[in-house]
Chain A
Amino acid sequence: MTYSKPLPVPGADTKPFWDGCREHTIRIQRCKACGHLRRPPASVCPRCLARETEWVEMSGRGTVYSYVVYHVAYDPSFKEDLPYVVALVTLEEGPRILTNIVECDPAAVHCDMAVEAIWKDVTDTVSLPLFRPAS
């Protein structure tokens, strides 16, 4: 079955993140000068303006910073998922990531809830990092 939902469009800044997802790891950009972990990816560190960066692996554990429940499908391909949860998850290493909370009743999701990453392989080349309640 073909995947009908939007796919990521990796750019120079975001390709290492999506490449990591393909290998089922969350990689976040770290400033080589000051160590700041930054997201969204960018060519310059927002703390110290250094350009040198490396990509480091996160544990995949975090907490829900905030979340919303979609009751309307802005794109028809999400209609089958309604109601679904979009969340900002704070990774235990510090940075935040936008994702879906799955394997959980939307009414049971709450801020600061512990979650862990799981992987959804949606095409031969794309895997999405989703989160579920921590086991």
Chain B
Amino acid sequence: MHAVGALEAGICKYILISYGHSARSGGGMSQVLSRMAGDDAVFGHFGAAAGYALAARRAMHEYNTGPDTWKHIAVGQRKWANLNPRAVMYDRPMTESDYERSPWIVEPFRLADNCLVTDGGRAFILTTAERARDLPHPVVTIMGLGMHNPAADPVAARHLTGPTGARRAGEQAFHMAGITLEDVDACEIYDCFTYTVEITLQDYGFFGPGEGEEWFRGGTIEPGGRTPVNTSGGLLSEAYQMGLTPLTEGVMQLMGRCGDHQLGPATGNIKPEIILCSDNGGILQTHACCILRRN
């Protein structure tokens, strides 16, 4: 959003947005997460998984979600990763019973509910539509942007079970884009944990609280499904590159650069025109929504 402002103001012509981290081999991610703990460490409370798990547990209590919903997300995204040679989990299929046998990490989350920790990097270049049309590659444009940051510490937060920042960020982005949910061909959702996908899609309005299990059931988000989600495998099954995993996947799908997991006749989906992307930070404390279009 800042980059768009810099382009609009004429301060920059081309902006490179990049991310790279030796998160796995360098141990960087565990250092970042342990520093977040503060006095919570006194009670043995560390990292991001348990913070999201607290939100997810309360959601189970309030509107009856849980592992039966989240397994569709973990298994569905893995099917996309199995089509993507770049994905960490490319050659490791996951069935529903594999999910159910996955060990508890911080209950109610199993290992299969957690994203990967990955070495690697991602980048994309942003410029004006006018300049982009003179370049040799297919153009992907931003139709809508929204951002909402409830920011509250999870101890004080009223939004752990929704609406999260996704509600207002989504409303802003759809308003700017001038479209509705029915116009979206695929979603690339920031998926640090399976629950994050559920609460984000729920707050965008795809289904109501407690309706997630029914919505996901039957392969909705999988190859050939009616609403493909996280078509690279996502943070859960491709690679953890912060918000750039979903955003760059959305761009590459619309450019037609995705090989075997390219949405189209080969996956049993329509060729996408519009893709909805999300990012969030903290324990559901910040949220950004970006709607992309081909051309």
What is the interface of chain A, defined by CB distance below 8 A to chain B?
Answer: 5-9, 14, 38-40, 46, 65-75, 78, 81, 83-84, 86, 88, 95-100, 106, 110-112, 128
Interface residues of B in 163-205 (CB under 8 A from A): none
A9-B39, A96-B156 in contact; A70/B44 too (CB < 8 A)?
A: yes
**Complex contact A40–B156 (CB within 8 A):** yes
**Complex contact B50–A6 (CB within 8 A):** no
In addition to A66-B58, A111-B60, 14 A-B residue pairs with Cβ atoms within 8 Å of each other are: A6-B41, A14-B39, A38-B156, A65-B58, A68-B54, A68-B109, A70-B50, A71-B103, A71-B104, A75-B41, A81-B44, A83-B104, A111-B57, A112-B61
Q: How far is the CA of A110 from the CA of B41 in the complex (A)?
A: 22
Find the B residue at minimum CB distance from A39: B155
Q: Closest Cβ of chain B: how far from A12's Cβ, in Å?
A: 13
| Most A C-beta atoms less than 10 A away, residue of B41, B50, B103, B154 | B41
Residue from the list B39, B47, B54 in contact with A74, Cβ < 8 A? B47
Is B34 at the interface (CB under 8 A from chain A)?
yes
**Complex contact A69–B104 (CB within 8 A):** yes
Residue from the list A40, A72, A86 in contact with B43, Cβ < 8 A? A86
Residue from the list A8, A69, A98 in contact with B155, Cβ < 8 A? A98
A67-B57, A88-B155 in contact; A98/B44 too (CB < 8 A)?
A: no
Is B55 at the interface (CB under 8 A from chain A)?
yes
Residues in chain A near residue B61, CB distance under 8 A: 66, 110-112
**Complex contact B155–A68 (CB within 8 A):** no
Interface residues of B in 36-87 (CB under 8 A from A): 37-47, 50, 53-55, 57-58, 60-61
Q: Closest Cβ of chain B: how far from A33's Cβ, in Å?
A: 18
Going nearest first, the 5 A-B pairs with the smallest beta carbon separation are A111-B61, A74-B46, A66-B58, A69-B107, A6-B41
Residue from the list A7, A86, A106, A111 in contact with B44, Cβ < 8 A? A86
**Complex contact B106–A100 (CB within 8 A):** no
**Complex contact A71–B105 (CB within 8 A):** yes
Q: How far is the CA of A83 from the CA of B106 in the complex (A)?
A: 9
A5-B44, A78-B44, A100-B43 in contact; A111/B58 too (CB < 8 A)?
A: yes
Residue from the list A46, A73, A86 in contact with B50, Cβ < 8 A? A86
A39-B156, A71-B106, A86-B45 in contact; A98/B40 too (CB < 8 A)?
A: yes
Q: How far is the CA of A7 from the CA of B141 in the complex (A)?
A: 51
Is B209 at the interface (CB under 8 A from chain A)?
no
**Complex contact A74–B156 (CB within 8 A):** no
Residue from the list A6, A66, A69, A88 in contact with B42, Cβ < 8 A? A6
Residues in chain B near residue A112, CB distance under 8 A: 61
**Complex contact B44–A75 (CB within 8 A):** yes
Residues in chain A near residue B44, CB distance under 8 A: 5, 70, 73-75, 78, 81, 84, 86, 100
Is B153 at the interface (CB under 8 A from chain A)?
yes
**Complex contact A7–B156 (CB within 8 A):** no
Is B140 at the interface (CB under 8 A from chain A)?
no
Q: How far is the CA of A64 from the CA of B152 in the complex (A)?
A: 19
Is B160 at the interface (CB under 8 A from chain A)?
yes
Q: Closest Cβ of chain B: how far from A64's Cβ, in Å?
A: 9
| Most B C-beta atoms less than 10 A away, residue of A39, A75, A86 | A86
